[in-house]
Structure 1
Amino acid sequence: MKTPKRLEPLVQNGLVDEVLRQLMSGKEAVVYVVRCGDDVRCAKVYKEANQRSFKQNAAYQEGRKVRGSRDARAMEKGSRYGRKMAEEVWQTAEVDALHRLAAAGVRVPQPYNCFEGVLLMELVTDAAGHAAPRLNDVVLSPEVALKFHAMLIKQVVLMLCAGVIHGDLSEYNILVDADGPVIIDLPQAVDAAGNNSAFSMLERDVGNLATYFGQFAPELLNTDYAFEIWSHYEKGELHPDVVLTGRARRSEKKADVRGLMREIDSVKEEELNRRRFQLEED
């Protein structure tokens, strides 16, 4: 096929030898099958921000590392330079997450290179060597649904052990290769320790899995793996081989908001006193 304009720089720089075909077009990118020497890979071309249906809202941006205070201020103001930086951070987030998760043993595509807004990565294939289907396109028996759900809960645990939450996990961004589910599409991935919405995102990801697989295995609809996983994480007890039941008990005790505010005020006062002391010492 004719080389798309966004892929021309990769061809010119020898990173891609030939564009074979378009594989899919999603809410955030268009994916092509390309030839790189003797290897067949994927080229994920990120769409411009105004063309994406997935928005970079503050919940996903929180906790992400920015190179300097100038870049952070520009991104906050939404200037032309700031929008450019936001795009770089958005794309870099997926590359960083893929490397981090692959090293942790999570089933994700192997990333190879990111150049001019294009991510080169492994082409996930099925047993016949064809591009692997999305989970949404696979017919499941109750037994396979339970098996795949258990495998994906394991992957969610591995991800959190590596400090990452997918943030948009569903049947539409999971592929099925010869060995089972493979997780894709991670530009919205968040750092669990640095994002105040981390638990709600984990809860949504795990809830999406229960809802989808629950169509085939209804017993999954009554599970609560998210709270159980997060409880282990908060206690520092989460590890890859943790035994989960999906039956964690949530406390019905109301939060002590007044007590929490008192603690916050106490911390603020302590910080003010520390700063006063430093000024007096200077």
Structure 2
Amino acid sequence: MKTPKRLLPLIEDGLVDEVLRQLMSGKEAKVYVVRCGEEIRCAKVYKEANQRSFKQAAAYTEGRKVKNSRQARAMAKGSKYGREVQEEAWQTAEVDALYRLADAGVRVPEPYICFEGVLLMELLTDANGNAAPRLNDVEMSEALALQYHAELIHQVVLMLCAGVVHGDLSEYNILVDAEGPVIIDLPQAVDAAGNNNAAAMLERDVDNLRSYFSQFAPSLAHSQFGKEIWKLYEAGELTPDSVLTGRVKRETRPADVRAVLREVESVRQEEEDRRRYLAELRQQ
């Protein structure tokens, strides 16, 4: 096939010998099957920011660190350089997440290098050596749905124990290789401790899994694994070996109305003091 323009620098640098075919096209990138010496790998070519249907919402980039304060200021101003830095951060976030999660035992593709907006990584295959299908393309029985759901919930736990929330997990970014489900597409992954939206994102990821698998295994329809996992994480009790039930106990203790009123009064008093202080400054 004709070599895509974005892959030419990798061929010129000897990182890729031949582009064999396009594997898939998603909202953030196109993926090609490539030959690197005797190895068959895949190359994920990130789309330009204005071509992606998945936008770099602040909810995802909150808490991400850049190399220095100059880059941070440029990103905040939205300058051309700032946009370039933001784009680089978006692309390298996936590489960083892949290495971090692989070290934690999460089933993700092995990354090799990210070069000129292209991520070169492992090509996942099924038992017959063909490119691994997406989860939504796999024929599903009730037993297999329960098995894969349990495996993926464990992967979500491993990810959170490593401090990472996928942020966009669904049947469309999970592949099934010869050994089972593998999680892919991580440029929007968020830091669990540094992002205020992490809890909501984790619960949404887990709810997506519930919605998909409950079509085949109705017993999953009312499970609450997302809430349970985050509750354990928040309490500092989540481990890779945590036993989950999919149920969350309701809070039965009556609300401490007096404590809430005291907190409201404290905030009101602080605001009143602040305004009085500002008024005094203006009079000086």
TM-score, structure 1 as length reference: 0.90
Residue 164 of structure 1 corresponds to which residue in structure 2? 164
In 1, Cα distance between equivalents of 2:216 and 2:125? 24
CA–CA separation in structure 2 for the residues paired with 1:56 and 1:153: 26
For 1:37-76, what per-residue CA distance to the aligned partner results, in whole angstroms no more than 9, with x for missing partners?
1100010000000000000010101110111122112112
Question: Kindly tell me: are residues 267 and 115 of structure 1, through their superposed partners in 2, closer, same or farther at Cα, counting changes over 3 Å?
Answer: farther
CA RMSD, 1 decimal: 2.1
Distance 2:98 2:176 in 1: 17
Which is higher, the Rg of structure 1 or of structure 2? 2
1:202–1:265: structure 2 CA closer, same or farther, 3 Å change rule? farther
Question: Structure 1 residues 260, 107: CA separation in 2 closer, same or farther (over 3 Å shift)?
Answer: farther
- Residue type at the aligned position of 2:156: V
Residue deviations 1:204-255 (CA, integer Å, cap 9, x gap): 0000000000100111110000111111111111111110000112437669
Q: Deviations over 1:111-131 (max 9, x none)?
A: 000000000000000000000
**Residue type of the partner of 2:85?**
M
Change (3 A) 1:69 1:106: same
Aligned to 1:271: none
| Offset at residue 79 of structure 1 (A) | 1.1
- State the SS of the aligned residue for 2:121: strand
- 1:227–1:250 CA contact under 8 A, matched in 2: no
Separation in 2 of the partners of 1:25 and 1:203?
Answer: 27
For residues 237 and 260 of structure 1, do their structure 2 counterparts lie closer, same or farther at Cα, with a shift above 3 Å needed? farther
| Larger CA deviation: 189-198 vs 258-267 | 258-267
Show the counterpart of 1:83: 83
**Change in CA separation of 1:263 and 1:118 when aligned onto 2, cut-off 3 Å:** farther
Secondary structure at 2:45 match in 1: strand
C-alpha distance in 2, partners of 1:259/1:57?
Answer: 37
- What is the alpha-carbon distance in structure 1 between the residues aligned to residue 267 and residue 61 of structure 2? 24
Q: Which amino acid counterpart does residue 9 of structure 2 have in structure 1?
A: P
1:200 and 2:200 aligned: yes
CA gap of 1:194–1:22, structure 2 versus 1, over 3 A, is same
Show the counterpart of 1:32.
32
Unaligned runs of 5+ in 1: 269-282
Taking structure 1 as reference, are residues 249 and 79 closer, same or farther at Cα in structure 2, changes over 3 Å only?
Answer: same
Residue 177 of structure 2 corresponds to 177
Determine if the alignment matches structure 1 residue 45 to structure 2 residue 36.
no
CA distance change for structure 1 residues 216 and 70 in 2, over 3 Å: closer, same or farther?
Answer: same
Letter in 2 for 1:37: G
The correspondence of residues 119-130 of structure 1 with structure 2, limited to 5 A, is: 119-130=119-130
Partner of 2:278: none
Counterpart of 1:170 in structure 2: which amino acid? S
The letter for the 2-side match of 1:91 is: Q
Alignment length, in residue pairs? 268
Residues 264 and 198 of structure 1, relative CA distance in 2, 3 Å threshold:
farther
The sequence identity of aligned pairs, in percent, is 72
Q: Which residue of 1 aligns with 2:62?
A: 62
Alpha-carbon separation, structure 1, partners of 2:71 and 2:150 = 41
* Aligned position for 2:150: 150
Q: Which residue of 2 aligns with 1:231?
A: 231
Give the letter for the 1:226 counterpart.
Answer: G
Q: Deviations over 1:134-167 (max 9, x none)?
A: 0011110000000000000000000001000000
SS at match of 1:19: strand
Which whole-Å CA distance do the structure 2 matches of 1:160 and 1:196 have between them?
14
Corresponding residue for 1:217? Answer: 217
In structure 2, relative to structure 1, the CA distance for the partners of 1:100 and 1:140 (3 Å cut) is same
Report the secondary structure of 1:227's partner residue.
helix
Query: Residues 262, 234 of structure 1: CA spacing in aligned structure 2 closer, same or farther, 3 A cutoff?
Result: farther
One-letter identity of the residue aligned with 1:210: R
- Please say which of residues 234-243 and 158-167 is displaced more in the overlay: 234-243
- Structure 2: distance between partners of 1:20 and 1:224: 43
Quote the offset at 1:264 in angstroms: 8.0
> Which residue type is aligned with residue 192 of structure 1?
A
